Structure 1
Amino acid sequence: MVPSDIAFRIIFIFQTGVGGLGNSVLLCYYMFTYLSGHRLKPIDLLISHLALVNNGVLFSKGIPQTMAAFGINNFLDDTGCKLVIYLHRVARSLSLFTTSSLSGFQAITINCKSTRCVNFKAKMPKYIVPSCFLYWAFSLLIYGRSPLNIKGPRESRNATEGNEYIYCSFHVSGDTLVYTIMTTLHDLIHVGIMVWTSGFMVLILYRHHQETHYIHQNNFTPGGAPETRAIQTILLLVSIFVSFYMINSIMIGYMSFFKPSRWFVHSSAFLASCFPACSPFVLIMSDSQVLRYCVAFCQRIKVPILTFALG
């Protein structure tokens, strides 16, 4: 047995399990908040939607890739391959949209000073849910063509075909390049929006921190000033997303036209799931209310678990 295969088995199980748990904690927290009669803030709606689609990315990529790492390559037929990969690409697109929307909403919130901006901010909560539904429809439509290039492992044995997946085959057709360019431009627009708005927020928060530096020197707060913590969270989320997205996109482009090694495919799958697995913990650690909820929940289930284990 190859040591790299054993390592990837452990990595995929850990990544999918821990990442899914983190996103589920965020979803449960906001669902509990809503069911308790509290009104969710607009940013809460975006974060809960991000957690939902991130779980979609993790499960549609992590579970099949874990089974492939265990050597089970023919567990999906042609229809199953088309469905799983289609759902993964739709969830990935929605994760990109939600991350850029979250960054844009935060930028508007931080720099909202004029009357027109304040009025727009007041109306934004009305547009968040419809926008999410519209983008769901848009993503389902734009990636509707992608299953045409996917075949089950039994339907294709041609070694010259692209292999973006171990458990399925990716067939390169004549118009694949045009379709790839269109979807790449679509993704890069959202990446550009996210990077620009995040950079703008960092600049605004940095200037504000410099103006109030003397206050923070006289009134020290544990863990740094609120502006500093916000900058760190924004920079961390953006750097994680952009870094993994760009590297994974290059690897996918290579695998679309060349036959990669098994190790290369596993590495690409790992990078594709890094942001969905890491982002919930960045958001949990940056929100004291969610963190307190997690601590209280762990304390409540600690006694029943110990009683069950000892009994």
Structure 2
Amino acid sequence: MDQRFSYIAIRNAFYPQAGIGISANAILICLHTAAVHVGHKPRITDLPIVHLALTHILMLLTMGLLVSTDIWETQDIPGDFKCKVLVFLNKVMRGMSICTTCVLSMLQAITISPTGSWLSNFKLKNTNPILKLFLFLWVFTMSTCSNLLLYTVSTPNKTQPGLLFVTEHCSFLPMKYIHREFFLTLMACRDVFFMGLMVFSSGYMVILLYRHKKQSQNLHNSKFSLQNPLQNKGPLKAFCC
């Protein structure tokens, strides 16, 4: 009874947040699409932003279907198939969210990097390399989550020992130790690598913007110091004489 109540509480708290997230990301996609149709020149970061927004929408939708009750009451599609597809897609979307955020952060760091820096050598003139990178990331992320297609099942009515409950309706079958450690290590290395790149690019941008601010302040102070003697020339001359 307590477990059932916790599922209901999680579902009721999730739906409003998912609605806001889906609406915000849909508006973001519409704004970028409208800007292109109006005639604005697309920026190199537009594709990753739209891709990230679409990824978040799919992630929220799959999570919403997992915690929903209506989809599990229909008997047209087997429960195991629904669990496998939804859990797999949700994990893939989560991985793609991290990867896409990393790509966007790196592109922003490359875009604002000054001419002559080593990052400026990676500046792109078109989106073809980004499309190829996203294709690779999709294949790689789906490969790291492929074990979910084998070990995800619908939760049986009777308690089965060894099951790891994901939601009220879906569970994971027991895995062999070597298989579990292999895929967990693969996903952990993926997340650590891309999050490390995000930290690096974010830190680089902070340092770059800080240096730009200091240079602007120095130029302003130099300009003020050059103007100050001219402003005080008259009074000083009168005082001396």
TM-score under structure 2 length normalisation: 0.77
Q: CA deviation at 1:123?
A: 3.4
Work out whether 1:154 is the aligned partner of 2:137: no
Distance 1:116 1:194 in 2: 17
Structure number, greater radius of gyration: 2
Q: CA deviation at 1:101?
A: 0.6
Work out whether 1:209 is the aligned partner of 2:213: yes
Distance 2:145 2:134 in 1: 16
Distance 1:216 1:29 in 2: 37
3-state secondary structure, aligned to 2:125: helix
Q: Show CA shifts across 1:103-156 (max 9, x none).
A: 111111222321875453143633112211222222223322221111112387
Instruction: Return closer, same or farther for 1:36/1:113 CA change in 2, 3 Å cut-off.
Output: same
Once the two structures are overlaid, the 10-residue window that deviates more, 105-114 or 87-96, is 105-114
- The amino acid across from 1:110 in the alignment is I
Once the two structures are overlaid, the 10-residue window that deviates more, 81-90 or 202-211, is 202-211
Q: Which consecutive residues of structure 1, in runs of 5 or more, have no partner in the other structure?
A: 218-311
Corresponding residue of 1:33: 35
Work out whether 1:43 is the aligned partner of 2:56: no
Aligned residue pairs total: 214
What is the percent sequence identity of the aligned residues?
30
3-state secondary structure, aligned to 2:45: helix
Distance 1:163 1:8 in 2: 15
Corresponding residue of 2:96: 94
Distance 2:199 2:20 in 1: 27
Distance 1:205 1:52 in 2: 30
Corresponding residue of 2:122: 120
RMSD of the TM alignment (CA)? 2.9
3-state secondary structure, aligned to 1:212: helix
Distance 1:102 1:201 in 2: 13
3-state secondary structure, aligned to 1:123: coil
TM-score under structure 1 length normalisation: 0.61
Corresponding residue of 1:194: 198
- The amino acid across from 1:36 in the alignment is V
Structure with the larger RCO, 1 or 2 (CA within 8 Å, 6+ apart): 1
Corresponding residue of 1:136: 138
Distance 2:10 2:47 in 1: 34
Corresponding residue of 1:13: 15
Instruction: Return closer, same or farther for 1:204/1:111 CA change in 2, 3 Å cut-off.
Output: same
| Contact 1:16–1:63 (Cα < 8 Å) also in 2 | no
